[in-house]
Structure 1
């Protein structure tokens, strides 16, 4: 890709960490839009912060605040996490929501620890391993007991000699760092000690408070003893940590230092998490260490496991449908003297961080509980006859969904925008049967649209603090609002949601930690419906929860037969199956605008938003959203926002680059965004109106947490829709395009879509040949024991 900065290129599970190049960092995270490179040609990947965590496995360099906070990683993704900024008019209100959600996550981790401690022995997953996998199992057990270091067992099993999975040992647990759950205010003496060490090593003293918050009490001593711990501070690049270590330790410090190998292993797994992976194969992680100068990657991995910094897993590989496991003779004989045969299954060695391992295991356990705790007695809920009567009043896929929910604790529902009517019909039917119901959308816009379908007050439902008038709007919440307790039914005496049925819309945006917190909060006997469009971009956070559940086939799946209408619905549906079809658009629902270069793309985009779409389509500029693959580059969000501001709301940017009336996107916590407008500023900070909620962003947070939003990335836009959308595809963005990105971007338009197109044949090629980038996760494997029971 000519002109592309490929120093931080991350591709798939095998090279996601390879993308976290020492040169490619900057202050950002994983740049959205990458499909195996660093993003479109010319996109900024240094210094200015990378951008959204790309569900498609984009650049995985840096781990900075700008990328995760101001980028609008959604995703729920996130992808892209929940759209937020929901408050009561003061900064304390928005902070209290974030703190409440973080407190819920800490409570989840405590429950996980209690449940794990209560388990006796390991969970059976098969019979004994042989060969390398057996050595690995012995090593893990030895590490857990403290008898000896880990043996050398980090090579993948040979494909020709498949192994049978062994019982998974209970891994040794380390206390979860509070810095990973919330940024506590460090003690003044700790900050002072850290500042002295940073100054001695030539690092900016301004990092002291953040470093002290991450490393905790005694951070100065920790940093002096192991300078590479600086890599735990978001935004630190590898070459910066290496320089800092050399300044402190002198010329004897080298790339083979054991401390460097361990810290680098953890850092690489953090980078992989930014690209969506919850674990990595030992081969991928070892290769990434070797690329960064570690002379003995295998030994570095062993030390990281022995120190408890990294967990190691052996997961059975899915041989695919119809595959017949290979038999293997054993030395034992059966009762009749005939030699028994074992069935061997291939396994792979995975390594991951405790944070995501705990979340994935908790999610699997919680889903198993939901599957198995549905009341069997009609006395504990509506009878089968009552459910059938409710289903008979519906039609098509809505009736199918009601019948599936009647008999199962967990149900998956797939479909587009119009298919949201089916979960709405389910909620109405379940409430009529006397059940306590609630539906959670990705953000305020999704909540508003759901409330409209339920017949509630759509305006009230858009505000996090005003649920709207009537029961219909009360049932519609956001995922963030539900978890924080600011919306929804509240919790019972045991801390579980006080409800009988939870429907989660926009389910592809759920990352593993958010999903685990939701499922862990469900009471026994409650039903869970996950609904969403499987064609959109995955979550910004690690995992691919909805896709893994669909692949595991552990519960009923209802596929909606309700298509999205009109030319836009036809276009997006075709993209979903890999075809870029030419649609008839007599009402100018779809317009293609060819451009020569980035400058032409910017000119035509401004013309469309400010003049052509309002005049020809009747959609004002404030209801038209521009979407482009990345933040950097000649036609990225930065360049487009500069041009659009100059035309639509010119001003000097006297409030930290913002003026009253500017359209912005605000990230109160990493991975969650809210769209809004600048109202003004005062000594407390920048005042925003975020979809009906008044928010004050402290002055020292504005640069990190607020961006202009006339133009956004597809990840920031997922979960929302606008009357009109202008999708900008400059020529240097060709390599960044994938089918899910195009599907998500084109699907944000309700009435009109303009495509400013400079990529020529790369557009249909991406639709046909570039599906979603794979993510390495463990959820499907963890759910596998549930399959026989669910399918029977």
Structure 2
């Protein structure tokens, strides 16, 4: 029986894109992914332009995220104003690359308006220190656009035949003048997540009539930006120019090369020339030396004066500047000597007390500003021991997780480490190291606050689950650390990469610019054995005497849904002792007969039936709340009233206004692997229907299977495709520039 694909481009939920749903332009190696279906299906990005948190009011996760994004935008504007030197061509090019360089020269010669997009960025100044916002009331109310703005946008959408349900999201993206902006340029609708060029074209024709053509400059500009935004959603920080022009041609742009040249001249995008490795060279990040100056001097000795081949990349300024800022910040941490907060003998005593790879981590952190730590769930005991030891030596030590649930789990681990006497005893106070979320730390809602220079008041920061860091968040973290501070990025390299652009943790592991400590603490039991084998590319049978792993074969989609509900409602509670409330279902996609929508409907009917009195939700429903794109927090519906939908997420109470419910709240009995990343449950049911094969990869399987603490059931309908995916399908490639940017700043591998 054939079923609808488990996750198609039309089924990607706003805020929770899963990589398998992304499609590639024909003939291109990497894609500006085309996510989202029609506007009616996708209500878009949950991140909204909002104001600062009011004084004395608790700052929510979404507001913390927006504050961090606003600080990043302000920093980019300052950097644009300070850039002075033009980028030199650096290589002889022809064809499309030559056309791009001609555009550069036109700007520099005055033939085109002078913009700052081709100028070399100066080091970013530190931001002024924001005053920490201290939470007071226990309930946070999510902000919504002004009612009159939404009403005006709704009228324009109705006139253009677009779904009026997009009004709130469009108003949030385009701001107070959203209605006027849409009338002047209907293709601005492409800035709303989930809207694709065909829908925007139809909207433009309804508003402009025959004046709306495929070569309209407004359309060309909007489609170019949309493709680069889709590429960022697929994880790329830039695209090869040939990939972008091919994608533009697919979208009906008559002169794709001219469109790129115009975008460069107008300052909409940046162009880069990154050196390619020589034939037989070990890695691309080591080709950043100047002309005639090899890493070991061999080029200069041989008298070679050959020009290196380059690849021409095009990217949005937002992500390009973030990646450059990240490289600058990492180089500063690697190059600055950590502050000595105790004699080496004290660090060595702490390392000896921790022992094993935990001791190696403490020794590495003692002498280096940047350290990478890899391992599974059990390995988190080592960063916990490090933080306790550093706190005992007088360091201001903090850990940052990506969500409140991760923060709470690690705080409990710190308490266990203290009770077990891990590391050294606390001598600097009884409170111990601090824990926060990344967004809360950056916004000032959590953590130690900032000093007069804008730097965080800490000496050691451990970022947990580091593969989830995208370039923007990572840039803000590194830029916020003071000179002499230590940064540890800890995580499991086998899980899915960040939803946002970049592959920061993977790039740093490949670049080998700092010490890397691999934990030797394996995750215990049959589940640990199974997941460890998947990480090595092997799906093997494991002995599970306590029914830790159960395989449930199914023949079709209907049976898959039936068996999943049976497992959650009856089998797992009865045989394993884990109640339905603590069992999580994970499936590859949102759409299809066995996607999250279908499974959530079936599970709600059995576990919390009701009429869906408020936007399809009833008190007691399990939900997945997306305060920003790519971030998901599991929770429950408490009640609904005139203020909105009241939620409890990881012990935090918040209210989502009625206008925001559709785009930021989904039922959460069933999640995708990207939504589930970073969370763990006592029991997990992974559903793999027959049509899930295209979505399967080793990182997907590794992430889904490793979410279980005690029990894993696999509803299996893909037969031999599962072991093949584990053995053969690696992470989808991403185009990033971080290794090339690091090469000239960190000339030799450390550690």
**Aligning the two structures, in what range does the TM-score lie when normalised by the shorter sequence?**
0.7 to 0.9
The 3-state SS of whatever aligns with 1:455 is: helix
Q: Is the 8 A contact 2:168 2:660 kept in 1?
A: no
Q: In the aligned structure 2, how far is the partner of 1:2 from the partner of 1:778?
A: 41
Question: What is residue 60 of structure 1 aligned with on the other side?
Answer: 35
- Cα pair distance change 1:144/1:637, threshold 3 Å: farther
Deviation at 1:778, TM superposition (A): 1.5
The 3-state SS of whatever aligns with 1:700 is: helix
The 3-state SS of whatever aligns with 1:482 is: helix
Give runs of aligned pairs for residues 117-516 of structure 1, distance below 5 A. Answer: 117-118=81-82, 120-121=84-85, 127=90, 129=92, 131=94, 136-137=100-101, 139-143=103-107, 146-148=110-112, 169-170=119-120, 185=145, 198=157, 201-203=160-162, 210-211=169-170, 213-216=172-175, 222-319=181-278, 321-322=281-282, 340-375=303-338, 380-455=340-415, 471-472=431-432, 475-516=434-475
- Cα pair distance change 1:58/1:598, threshold 3 Å: farther
Give runs of aligned pairs for residues 764-779 of structure 1, distance below 5 A. Answer: 764-779=723-738
Q: Could you list the per-position Cα deviations for residues 199-221 of structure 1 after superposition, in whole angstroms to 9, with x for gaps in the alignment?
A: 65444667566545544566555
Deviation at 1:539, TM superposition (A): 1.0
The 3-state SS of whatever aligns with 2:71 is: helix
Q: Is the 8 A contact 1:186 1:213 kept in 2?
A: no
Q: Could you list the per-position Cα deviations for residues 285-319 of structure 1 after superposition, in whole angstroms to 9, with x for gaps in the alignment?
A: 11111112112111111111111111111112245
Q: Could you list the per-position Cα deviations for residues 221-263 of structure 1 after superposition, in whole angstroms to 9, with x for gaps in the alignment?
A: 5444433223223333312221233234433532223332221
Question: What is residue 108 of structure 1 aligned with on the other side?
Answer: 72
Deviation at 1:281, TM superposition (A): 1.0
- Cα pair distance change 1:233/1:293, threshold 3 Å: same
Give runs of aligned pairs for residues 590-669 of structure 1, distance below 5 A. Answer: 590-669=549-628
- Cα pair distance change 1:758/1:446, threshold 3 Å: same
Q: In the aligned structure 1, how far is the partner of 2:439 from the partner of 2:290?
A: 50
CA RMSD in angstroms, aligned pairs only: 3.7
The 3-state SS of whatever aligns with 1:773 is: coil
Q: In the aligned structure 2, how far is the partner of 1:736 from the partner of 1:57?
A: 18
The 3-state SS of whatever aligns with 1:251 is: helix
Q: Is the 8 A contact 1:226 1:259 kept in 2?
A: yes
Q: In the aligned structure 2, how far is the partner of 1:368 from the partner of 1:217?
A: 40
Q: In the aligned structure 1, how far is the partner of 2:305 from the partner of 2:40?
A: 51
* Alignment of 1:752 onto 2:711: yes
Q: In the aligned structure 1, how far is the partner of 2:289 from the partner of 2:415?
A: 59
Higher mean displacement: 439-448 or 250-259: 250-259
Q: In the aligned structure 1, how far is the partner of 2:654 from the partner of 2:180?
A: 39
Q: In the aligned structure 2, how far is the partner of 1:202 from the partner of 1:64?
A: 11
Q: Could you list the per-position Cα deviations for residues 314-351 of structure 1 after superposition, in whole angstroms to 9, with x for gaps in the alignment?
A: 11224564489899999xxxxxxx99531432211111
Q: Could you list the per-position Cα deviations for residues 167-215 of structure 1 after superposition, in whole angstroms to 9, with x for gaps in the alignment?
A: 984389xxxxxxxxx9995795x77876676565444667566545544
Deviation at 1:723, TM superposition (A): 0.9
- Cα pair distance change 1:387/1:647, threshold 3 Å: same
- Cα pair distance change 1:490/1:696, threshold 3 Å: same
Q: Is the 8 A contact 2:275 2:288 kept in 1?
A: no
The 3-state SS of whatever aligns with 2:648 is: strand
Question: What is residue 77 of structure 1 aligned with on the other side?
Answer: none
Deviation at 1:457, TM superposition (A): 11
Question: What is residue 126 of structure 2 aligned with on the other side?
Answer: none
Deviation at 1:407, TM superposition (A): 1.4
Question: What is residue 535 of structure 2 aligned with on the other side?
Answer: 576
Q: Select the residue among 18, 24, 30 that pairs with 1:32.
A: 18
Question: What is residue 687 of structure 1 aligned with on the other side?
Answer: 646
Q: Could you list the per-position Cα deviations for residues 536-586 of structure 1 after superposition, in whole angstroms to 9, with x for gaps in the alignment?
A: 011111111111111111111111111111111110011001100111111
Question: What is residue 44 of structure 1 aligned with on the other side?
Answer: none
- Cα pair distance change 1:171/1:405, threshold 3 Å: closer
* Alignment of 1:542 onto 2:501: yes
Give runs of aligned pairs for residues 716-727 of structure 1, distance below 5 A. Answer: 716-727=675-686
- Cα pair distance change 1:722/1:26, threshold 3 Å: closer
Q: TM-score, normalised by structure 2?
A: 0.84
Deviation at 1:140, TM superposition (A): 2.0
- Cα pair distance change 1:217/1:595, threshold 3 Å: closer
Question: What is residue 99 of structure 1 aligned with on the other side?
Answer: 63
The 3-state SS of whatever aligns with 2:694 is: helix
Q: In the aligned structure 2, how far is the partner of 1:522 from the partner of 1:722?
A: 33
Query: Size of the alignment, in residue pairs?
Result: 698
- Cα pair distance change 1:225/1:686, threshold 3 Å: closer
Deviation at 1:790, TM superposition (A): 4.1
Deviation at 1:786, TM superposition (A): 3.0
Deviation at 1:434, TM superposition (A): 0.8
- Cα pair distance change 1:316/1:149, threshold 3 Å: farther
Question: What is residue 731 of structure 1 aligned with on the other side?
Answer: 690
Q: Is the 8 A contact 2:83 2:121 kept in 1?
A: no
- Cα pair distance change 1:704/1:677, threshold 3 Å: same
Q: In the aligned structure 2, how far is the partner of 1:432 from the partner of 1:344?
A: 54
Q: In the aligned structure 2, how far is the partner of 1:709 from the partner of 1:339?
A: 63
Higher mean displacement: 339-348 or 253-262: 339-348
Q: Is the 8 A contact 1:663 1:677 kept in 2?
A: yes
Question: What is residue 154 of structure 1 aligned with on the other side?
Answer: none
